[in-house]
Amino acid sequence: MLNDKVIVITGGAGLLGQAFVEAIAKSGGTAVIADLDVATAVSVKDRLASSEGGLIIDTVALDITSAESVDAAIKAVSEKYGRVDALINNAYPRNKNYGRHFFDVEYDDFCTNLNMNLGGYFLTSQKFARYFVQQGHGNIVNISSIYGVIAPKFDIYDDTKMTMPVEYAAIKSGLIHLTKYMAGYLKGKNIRVNAISPGGIFDHQPEDFLTSYNDHCLNKGMLDPQDLCGTLLYLLSDHSSFVNGQNLVVDDGFTLS
């Protein structure tokens, strides 16, 4: 599906990013892990490349909150491969105080986390979109969330130390509308911008939480990272040539109840 496409995945060394990188490479694309943690990115590249022959996986250092870093990453990838076909905004930067309960969140932390995450997505998208305009084509896929679409179901966090961070809701809902804004703004430029809003991803959460979460789903419940890859490959491929400005929800029906 992705033969000869060069695709940059921000946060490519993370939980979702690793699954995306592997799926892209197995579909014939060149998967470039763009991550602040270069050592981990190289380790992921080596592990995936050794697991199956013929995969094209590369790495580039990237801090999505730094204009200089984004410019350098675009320059490095485009000079090496001659083009960049797509960007996946998947990085998840946050400060040490991220994830507190609503009344415990400090204003400065709220602003910092929005700036790092949503601001970083804006910066990276702006820089890549400018490159795509000059190139004559491009594709941006933003990783949002079901909690950018609906209000949190706070009851599923009862009897756990977990919560749904207010910063997360603001970031992910803002990202969906940023997706639509950019798609409209780039009209006529042969650049598509779409979003994927995943449901919960299994990461060894407490059993009580998993049970409560799964009760709201229709079949599987909590998803694995690989469950998003079919939708991602579709948006990256020519099969979705006329899908633009959309948010595709992949949540096993969680948002229905």
**Catalytic residue list:** 168
Query: Percent helix, strand and coil across the chain, each rounded to 5?
Result: 50, 15, 35
- Cα 214 to Cα 6: distance, rounded to the nearest angstrom: 36
CB-side neighbour CA atoms (13 Å) of 209 = 17
Question: CA–CA separation, 155 vs 153, rounded Å?
Answer: 6
Quick count: other Cβ atoms within 10 Å of Cβ 190? 12
Is residue 24 packed enough to be buried (19+ CB in 10 Å), middle (13-18) or exposed (0-12)? buried
CA gap 100, 114 in Å, rounded: 14
43-47, long-range: CB < 8 A, 24+ apart: 43/13, 44/12, 44/13, 44/18, 45/21
Output Rg (C-alpha) for the chain, integer angstroms. Answer: 18
The residue assigned the tokens 């779409």 is 194
Angle at 73 between CA 6 and CA 94, to 5 degrees: 105
